[in-house]
Amino acid sequence: ATGDLILEVNNIEVVYNKAIQALRGLSLAVPKGKIVALLGSNGAGKSTVLKAVSALLPMENGLVTEGRITFDGEAVEQNAPHTLVRRGLFHVMEGRRIFADLTVEENLTAATYALTGRDIAADFDIVYRYFPRLAERRKSIAGYLSGGEQQMLAIGRALVAKPRVILLDEPSLGLAPLLVEEIFGIIARINREEGVSMLLVEQNASVALSIAHYGYIMETGRIVIDGPTEKLTSDRDVQEFYLGLS
Ligand code: ATP
């Protein structure tokens, strides 16, 4: 069954600054072609999971002290984040991390630097097909785009890299509800039409579960509940504590 998984996180422990234990024996899996949601409140450790998967922890003084992460059957070592883009894993970080002084198109070009031998024009077309608004604004300075357009650009940068897995950290952050719905609709389409697997971190559980196939809920460094979306959304505790229903 392991062959059906694009990403596997097995029993990892992460410690920051040799003092703060952020993850405590956390395991999860992303099947090929699926959207998996990782939910939980502020500080639960969701972003830390994504940073561990994309080998970014050393930059923040974080250390995986236990466990193992596998991407497409191969171990992820914490020393070479740049090689992961080439292997097909792209991390859309929280807060959009685009180049504010560059144009939309320059931001997309920058995303291809880590790659080689790509048809750049064709790759841009993919982005503009999913995000027509970015096509209209291709010569605009990214820093002047609206919050929603900046999030679109952050996801567009991932698309240009033609990844097999996209890690998405809080794409709903700071956006109006209608825009969140629009962007999540597009994320779901990208998953379906491009076959890209996704690990989606969100505090907004209901919108995440509206597009995910499977969900994990975490608290203080561990998974507390997980299951297929239908099972989670019909669970009384999940409804009450995470979906704000009762
Ligand atoms: P948020 O939604 O705020 O991003 P989160 O669920 O993603 O929350 P993390 O950012 O992964 O949570 O943080 C998990 C724990 O690790 C928190 O206690 C946080 O304070 C701590 N932590 C995160 N990054 C660092 C760091 N660079 N140095 C020290 N501690 C950190």
* 174 touches 167 (CB < 8 A): no
| Nearest alpha carbon, ligand 1 atom 27 | 60
In order of 126, 151, 187, the CA distances from 145 in angstroms are: 20, 10, 19
* Distance of alpha carbon 210 from the chain centroid: 16
Distance 129 CA to ligand 1 centre (A): 35
In whole angstroms, what is the distance from residue 154 CA to residue 89 CA?
14
| pTM confidence score | 0.94
Distance 125 CA to ligand 1 centre (A): 36
95 lines ligand 1 (CB under 6 A): no
Question: Residue 76 carries which DSSP code?
Answer: P
Strand partners, 229: none
In whole angstroms, what is the distance from residue 239 CA to residue 115 CA?
43
In whole angstroms, what is the distance from residue 32 CA to residue 70 CA?
13
**Is the pLDDT reported for residue 187 higher than 60?**
yes
| Nearest alpha carbon, ligand 1 atom 10 | 47
SS3 114: coil
- Tokens 């070592």 locate to 77
Amino acid (1-letter code) at residue 81: P
Q: What is the pLDDT of residues 83-116, one digit of tens each?
A: 888 889 999 998 778 899 999 999 998 877 666 5
17 lines ligand 1 (CB under 6 A): yes
At residue 192, the pLDDT reads: 97
| Nearest alpha carbon, ligand 1 atom 9 | 45
- ipTM (interface pTM): 0.95
Neighbours of 137 (CB within 10 A): 20
In order of 40, 47, 171, 179, 183, the CA distances from 176 in angstroms are: 20, 22, 12, 5, 11
Distance 201 CA to ligand 1 centre (A): 13
CA end-to-end distance (rounded Å), the chain: 37
Q: What is the mean pLDDT of the chain?
A: 92
Q: What is the pLDDT of residues 108-146, one digit of tens each?
A: 988 776 665 555 666 789 999 999 999 999 999 999 999
Distance 22 CA to ligand 1 centre (A): 7
Q: Which atom of ligand 1 is nearest to the CA of 41?
A: 6
pLDDT band at 15 (very low <50, low <70, confident <90, very high): very high
Half-sphere exposure in the Cβ direction for 205 (13 Å, CA): 22
Question: Residue 238 carries which DSSP code?
Answer: I
* 102 touches 110 (CB < 8 A): yes
Distance 56 CA to ligand 1 centre (A): 13
60 lines ligand 1 (CB under 6 A): yes
100 lines ligand 1 (CB under 6 A): no
| Nearest alpha carbon, ligand 1 atom 25 | 16
Q: Which atom of ligand 1 is nearest to the CA of 94?
A: 4
20 lines ligand 1 (CB under 6 A): yes
| Mutation probe of ligand 1 site: the residue of 16, 219, 223 with most atoms within 8 A of C-beta | 16
At residue 162, the pLDDT reads: 87
Tell me the torsion sign for CA atoms 131, 137, 141, 147: negative
| Nearest alpha carbon, ligand 1 atom 8 | 43
